[in-house]
Chains A and B, each alone.
Chain A
Amino acid sequence: MAEPTAAPTARERVPFMQRLLDNPFLLLFLGVTSPAVLYLLWGVMELSQIPIAR
């Protein structure tokens, strides 16, 4: 972070969204979780619930 060096503006708080976008590991977590839950997990749940033919 540039915070210790940028003295005059350092007091201004970095907005939440910018902190999010500056945090690669948080983004990695979101980017893997989103498709893992919405696409994979939801999909696997539906496929495992296919009924057996009469």
Chain B
Amino acid sequence: MATSAAQAGMIGALAARFRSCPVTGLQIDLAAERLIKANAIAAVVFLAIGGVFGLLVALTRWPAVHLLSSDMFYLVLTAHGLDVLLLWIIFFEIAVLYFASAILLNSRLAAPRLGWVAFALMLIGGLLTNVAVLQGDSSVMFTSYVPMQASPNFYLGLILFAVGALIGCCIFLGTLVIAKDEQTYEGSIPLVTFGALTACIIAFFTLASGAVILIPTWLWSLGYISHIDTVMYKLVWWGMGHSSQQINVSAHVAIWYLIAAVTVGAKPLSEKVSRGAFLMYILFLQLASAHHMLVEPGLSSEWKVFNTSYAMYLAVLGSMIHGMTVPGAIEAAQRKNGYVNGAFEWLRKAPWNNPAFAGMFLSLVLFGFLGGISGVVLGTEQINIMMHNTLYVPGHFHATVVTGTTLAFMAVTYLVLPLIFQREVAFPKLARIQPYLFAIGAGGISLFMMGAGTLGVSRRHWDITFSDATLAFDYPAAAFLMLGLNGLFAILATVGGALYVIIAVWTILFGRRVTAENALAALGPMPPRLQVHTAVAEYGSAGTWHLPGTYILISVFFVSFVLYYFVNWKYLSELWPMG
């Protein structure tokens, strides 16, 4: 690769140094590799910090434990949101962007020095905001709704972080341009890279919205601006707050395809359909920022219905397509691998003891059933009246961001460690159970918070017994049970999360080096198959199409979706009439 680039006479390309990947044969730009490592490590550090905060939150919500004081609870809750929802996720996503561009396209990374500037900005910003929160005068929650005011450094940190991330996105786009110019690949970019591009595009809108609203808010906290409209703030803020979770969706769907490809040799059933589904994300997914504006005053029902439904649920269509094509591609590949009996031999004999595969499949199922269905129901204009700001909301987004995104990121880590860090995953037996522990824990958290929310329990609330309130009020007893169970499952999730952090850190520091001989084995157990490269010749042609298992899975999904959707309309019809 370096030779053809040199022929092109590119100075940057001359400077780039490569190594050859023993598994894929790809040329790996060492500068890109170092940046991927740095961003991934920063991500894991913030996951560890934010995870501890999360446990403290859950233990305080557990009525029998009620660990923290109210001030500390609100402080820790703010820090938890920031560290895991923003810092862990976006640092990891930047690593994914560099991986999906430079590595998968066999190219050098555009402007690696700028990559370090971006990294530094993100790190300084993240630390600045964390310090502001821990100092105690910025317990304003992740959303920081005006006119509640945090210290100026809270906003400044977020702005620096956003600028850094934006630079990272530009480097991704720059790398696409370089790879195309230097012809490091032929034809269209791989599907995984296309998914990363989708994430990158959504990130542009996200970070731009963040800048548009956080810069004036920062100036307001410094006293240069006297007033910020509260609804306007929310409208623009959620352009960042919700869209940033749409970056996650695009990134983790791309990772599903990636892991399925590496572990079982899965190939997209149809490039056209999968890319079309990503296009639906690019065009419409971000409209769902309106999910947070459904019971706000000042917006018309037309605006609410159109935006909350992603323009007639076209982005949901995209997700439902991925929800079929990912398991479908796995089934097709597994049938090629020789597991042809019955509807589910391909699934039973999937590499469940490979943490990358197990984490990916659990992420797929939990994201679809828990996160996807609850998200659409929660985002239905009228149904939102009985769910807005209840614990149902964090229940929903723990299903999407924790069991969906975080679990997918954990899963891909088990491939990144051998491929990029070139280390064998340490403690393989613990690694094997880690995704299951974390999935059960996080799934329980989501489910029980949604349960408590259905019973009306408020989110971001220190004392659901209202012991100090002038006018007492009691939530149903079942809600207390739900929050107790939430605490128990949070402990389980913490154990799973801690295992992940320990395995990752230990592997990086002390793991055995991967060599050409053990490189493939280091990726974990995989089904015996015709080699990765020769797996399948002609998907997309009708002849290869016999996927009964996938049809059964998506039928179960669809029936659950429809039933749960209409059950909630039934509940809604029992509310006091209002209009």
A residues at B contact (CB < 8 Å): 1-2, 5-6, 17-18, 20-22, 24-25, 27-28, 30-32, 34-36, 38-40, 42-44, 46-47, 50
Contacts and interface: CB of A to CB of B under 8 A. Distances in A.
B197 interface: yes
B489 interface: no
Contact of A40 (B236, B276, B283, B300): B236
Nearest to A29: B201
Interface of B: 173, 176, 180, 186-189, 194, 197-198, 200-202, 204-205, 208-209, 229, 231-232, 235-236, 239, 243, 272, 275-276, 279, 282-284, 286-287, 289-290, 293, 297-300, 303, 306-307, 311
B283 A24 contact: no
B205 A32 contact: yes
A31 B187 contact: no
B231 A39 contact: no
A47 B238 CA distance: 15
Contact of B239 (A6, A30, A40): A40
Contacts of B239: 35, 39-40
A5 B186 contact: yes
Contacts of B209: 40
A38 B311 contact: yes
Question: 5 closest pairs, A vs B, by CB?
Answer: A35-B286, A31-B201, A31-B282, A2-B186, A43-B235
Contacts of B186: 2, 5-6
Given A21-B194, A46-B303, A39 B282 contact: no
Contacts of B205: 31-32, 35-36
> Which of A38, A39, A47 has the most chain B CB atoms closer than 10 A to its own CB?
A39
A45 B219 CA distance: 24
B299 A38 contact: no
Contacts of B173: 24-25, 28
Contacts of A39: 239, 286-287, 289-290, 307
Given A31-B282, A40-B209, A22 B188 contact: yes
B303 A21 contact: no
A31 B276 CA distance: 14
Contact of B275 (A21, A24, A46): A21
B232 A44 contact: yes
A6 B200 CA distance: 30
Contact of A34 (B176, B286, B300, B303): B286
A34 B275 CA distance: 18
Contact of A31 (B189, B204, B272, B311): B204
B235 A47 contact: yes
A32 B287 contact: no
Contacts of A17: 272, 276
Given A27-B201, A35-B243, A36-B205, A42 B303 contact: yes
B34 to A, nearest CB: 25
